[in-house]
Structure 1
Amino acid sequence: MFDSSKFPLAGESGYGNLSPLQVDHIVDESAAWGQFWIMAIIFVLFLVFAVYRYVVKKDSVPFFMSATGIIAFFNEGNYDILVHLTQPANSIKPLFWTGGQPMGLGFMVGYWGVFTLMTYLAYRFLSKGLTKKKFWKLWGFIALACLIIEIPGVQMGVYIYQGEQTLRIFGYPAYNLWINATGWLLSGLLIVIMEPILKGWKRWLLSVLPCCGFAICWGISDIPVVCALNIANLPVWSMYLLMLVSLALALMLMKMIVSMFAVDSPRRWTIPWEIYKQ
């Protein structure tokens, strides 16, 4: 007989509290609302831009990929547990709880807007066809943009990375830079490749492809990070070593992508349909 007291179901006491994360910090309400409105403005502007591109420019890509951020948001709680990222106990309007912490409306709006915007920017640059040098410049640009976007939230305590995170830049773990840069670039590239053949109702798959791109990146370069942060009693030097392994894996993945898709690569793949826009 199944005993739900040992394995609580959704809605029962204990469900969503499977991790030892301590959500005990309180964020200043003005900081939380400030970040919410900034992210909300980014989100609304992107939606307006998506409608404009669809109606005026006959470009449906931003419109049909507009749901990608919300899809990614619902997996964010699981990732937070793995990297010890906690949301404040007084998060704005919690939509649900996962891993013992609230996933608030402000966080959802921010994730929805920023994740979608960064993926679209990567797509727009990549859709023109990039040389090897420009591929790497785009990768660096995305990493820098990620840092600029994330630092205010970390500094204001809107979310906190707990424990030893090895190298931080103004409180923001450096490993997120190469993971997010590679993930967003790969997400945009998948849209470039698949968009020409996704017609009709299949256009909504443009919202799913970025999540696939990030899953590929996370599955490769995030494993050493998760090990570094969660294996008990690791010496700090070995945590740094695992972070370097993560960086090396991200760079190897990028090198492979550049070799396959840069317009000046001698090993460039041939796609049986036109993927670059003139």
Structure 2
Amino acid sequence: MQLPNQMPEPPVHMAMSPYYPYILAISIAIFCAATAYAARDAKRTGRWLPLLVIAGAAIASFQECIYDVAVLVWWAELDTTPMYRIFNRSVPLWMVFAYPWFIGGMGYWAYRHFQDGMRSATLWKLYFFGWFANLLLEVPALQIGDIYTYYGEQPFKILGFPIWMAMTNTLMPIFVGAALHALDDVLRGPRALLTLVLVPAATASAEIASGWPIWLALNSGQGLWLTQAATLVTLGFSMSLAYLISLKLCVEAPATGRVGATPAATKVQFAS
């Protein structure tokens, strides 16, 4: 007896929207701004780290096809030339510019503030700002036409965007910032090039660690009730991971000194 197919069928006949070049242009502009910020900070600090974080996030964009299969995202394949096509997913050039500013730019910002002694309240502001930034990134593209779509039993959509995606995506820059902070003394000299490995690793860790419950539910064939329940689990995982990072890395009071400088001594909060 043949078992039923649990995975929903994607809309394979979707043609790319004529508005896609505008979305790409906006993303390139934001990418250029993030890169300019990184270059300025590289000059100020005398380190290549800021630019390597941006480059590492661009490398992480090649993970997109893996997530797209798991979270049921389909990019329009007709009337377009993708950046690459793997796992039967045609990923557009847009992603190689979006990842660097969302993950790289925000991740480097988190790193600098961890170095300066980030308070828990600041981390939670970054956490929820990530939700807003993710909505700002995706909702316009979902609304103007057939660039891509979330298919299957996607729960809790806002203008075509399943809100659970923000719960997982917001952790990516936080994980990147935390990893850079933890390994800052290692990422010096030629070893700074290891940032190109660290950033994609932190990105994947955040996405998988918080998102796997909803991934399983979406591909189980059990319907909307299970994906809705899994959303609550994913929210719990996402906030718990952010909370653990705040316990380990955030300080009770802001350290003195400029942002980006490692404080001589900070009082770190630990769980009892």
Task: Please give the range of the TM-score, normalised by the shorter of the 2 chains.
Answer: 0.7 to 0.9
* Separation of aligned partners in 1, 2:169 and 2:244: 17
- Post-superposition shift, 1:215? 2.5
Larger CA deviation: 158-167 vs 256-265: 256-265
* Separation of aligned partners in 2, 1:54 and 1:118: 16
The residue that corresponds to 2:10 in the other structure is: 21
Q: 2:229 aligns with which of 238, 241, 259?
A: 241
The residue that corresponds to 2:3 in the other structure is: none
Q: What secondary structure sits across from 2:183 in the alignment?
A: helix
Q: 1:148 aligns with which of 132, 136, 141?
A: 136
The residue that corresponds to 2:99 in the other structure is: 111
* Separation of aligned partners in 1, 2:264 and 2:154: 41
Equivalent residue runs for 1:34-73 within 5 Å: 34-73=22-61
Equivalent residue runs for 1:170-185 within 5 Å: 170-185=159-174
Residues 122-162 of structure 1: CA deviation (Å, up to 9, x unaligned): 22333321222222122112222221122111212322111
- Post-superposition shift, 1:276? 4.5
Q: What secondary structure sits across from 2:54 in the alignment?
A: coil
* Separation of aligned partners in 1, 2:119 and 2:232: 27
Instruction: Tell me, yes or no, if the aligned pair for 2:69 and 2:89 is still in contact at 8 Å.
Output: no
Number of matched pairs: 251
Task: Report the identity percentage.
Answer: 24
The residue that corresponds to 2:81 in the other structure is: 93
Instruction: Tell me, yes or no, if the aligned pair for 2:84 and 2:90 is still in contact at 8 Å.
Output: yes
- Post-superposition shift, 1:60? 2.9
Q: Which amino acid aligns with 1:81?
A: V
Structure-2 change in CA distance of 1:91 and 1:54 (3 Å): farther
Structure-2 change in CA distance of 1:144 and 1:66 (3 Å): same
Long gaps (5+) in structure 2: 1-7, 254-260, 266-272
Structure-2 change in CA distance of 1:208 and 1:158 (3 Å): same
The residue that corresponds to 1:213 in the other structure is: 202
Larger CA deviation: 205-214 vs 222-231: 205-214
Q: Are 1:134 and 2:113 counterparts?
A: no
- Post-superposition shift, 1:192? 1.6
Equivalent residue runs for 1:223-262 within 5 Å: 223-232=212-221, 234-262=222-250
Larger CA deviation: 43-52 vs 184-193: 43-52
The residue that corresponds to 1:196 in the other structure is: 185
Structure-2 change in CA distance of 1:276 and 1:218 (3 Å): farther
- Post-superposition shift, 1:72? 1.2
Please, what is the CA RMSD of the aligned residues? Answer: 2.5
- Post-superposition shift, 1:239? 1.8
| TM-score (normalizing by structure 1) | 0.81
Q: What secondary structure sits across from 2:90 in the alignment?
A: strand
| TM-score (normalizing by structure 2) | 0.83
Q: 1:166 aligns with which of 150, 155, 158?
A: 155
Structure-2 change in CA distance of 1:192 and 1:277 (3 Å): farther
* Separation of aligned partners in 1, 2:203 and 2:79: 26
- Post-superposition shift, 1:39? 1.0
Q: What secondary structure sits across from 1:136 in the alignment?
A: helix
Residues 234-261 of structure 1: CA deviation (Å, up to 9, x unaligned): 1422221111111111122122111111
Residues 7-48 of structure 1: CA deviation (Å, up to 9, x unaligned): xxxxxxxxxxxx95342212322x110011111112222223
Instruction: Tell me, yes or no, if the aligned pair for 1:21 and 1:81 is still in contact at 8 Å.
Output: no
* Separation of aligned partners in 1, 2:111 and 2:33: 18
Long gaps (5+) in structure 1: 1-18, 266-273
- Post-superposition shift, 1:229? 0.4
Structure-2 change in CA distance of 1:65 and 1:276 (3 Å): farther
Q: Which amino acid aligns with 1:206?
A: T
Instruction: Tell me, yes or no, if the aligned pair for 1:132 and 1:262 is still in contact at 8 Å.
Output: yes
* Separation of aligned partners in 1, 2:63 and 2:234: 21
Instruction: Tell me, yes or no, if the aligned pair for 2:60 and 2:203 is still in contact at 8 Å.
Output: no
Instruction: Tell me, yes or no, if the aligned pair for 1:135 and 1:258 is still in contact at 8 Å.
Output: yes
